[in-house]
Amino acid sequence: MSFEAWTIFALFWVVFVTTPGPNAVNCITNGMHLSFPRAMVGVLAILTQATLFLVLSALGITALIAASPTGFFIAKLVGAGFLIYLGVRGWILAKRPVVVGDRPAKSIYLHALAVATINPKSVAGYLAAFSQFVQPGVPIWEQMAVIVPTALTITALSYIGFTLLGAGLARAALGAVFNIWVRRVLAACFVIYGVLLGASTTPGRA
């Protein structure tokens, strides 16, 4: 991959991972409710998902999933239901006082991994990255040696930033009415993402 191609890819990835979505909402929520070291477990889960999707994209599996109307439809409904559930639950719990949590690391990790995996933005983004930036005449794994470290570094910085934002909101609004509405807005975002996911069409199809 040339330096020019790498620069374009890096800029694309910055926009991709800094555009707020379910992962960002989850990181902000973790930052509000958990200690910072414990919230970093959620970022680790996102990086796990990113690594998996990068490898699957290189192997063409995500393209195969997107090309299967039945498989995509089932995944879409499951993902939509999960996001809506998170949103409704978050709205109901918003009035409860914020307490720095001590959730098991496994729970935080699996929860963040589930949110990242069913995120429709992930499939679209990885397909776009590989359809636009991978050069057909160059061995794929040589390109992956450049793409993977770049993508994971930018992804980590982005979601660490969202987690820090959540921690800052918690400190600024702990126990205040404002805090309740911040949490409700985040909960509403999950519901909105779930509805949009459920109403979306299979990529490449009307």
pLDDT at 201: 53
- Residues 159 and 46: their CA atoms lie apart, in Å, by 8
Give the largest CA-CA distance in the chain. Answer: 58
Q: State pLDDT tens for residues 14-50.
A: 877 887 778 888 998 899 888 889 999 999 999 999 9
pLDDT at 98 over 60: no
Nearest to 56 by CA among 149, 154, 144, 133: 144
Does some domain include residue 63?
A: yes
Residue 84 forms part of a structural domain: yes
Helices then strands (H, E): number in the chain? 9, 0
Number of structural domains in the chain = 1
In a domain, 15, yes or no: yes
* Number of residues written out for the chain: 206
Positive or negative CA dihedral for 203, 185, 32, 150? positive
Task: Compute the mean pLDDT over every residue in the chain, rounded to the nearest whole number.
Answer: 77
Does the residue 204 lie in any domain?
no
Quote the pTM value: 0.72
pLDDT digits (tens, 9 = 90+) for 54-71: 888 777 765 666 667 676
AA identity, residue 35: S
Q: Is residue 205 in some structural domain?
A: no
Residue 121 lies in a domain: yes
Residue that is written with structure tokens 């933005």 in the block? 121
Q: Are 112 and 42 in contact (CB under 8 A)?
A: yes
- The answer to the question of residue 206 being in a domain is no
| Residue numbers of the domain that contains 76 | 3-199
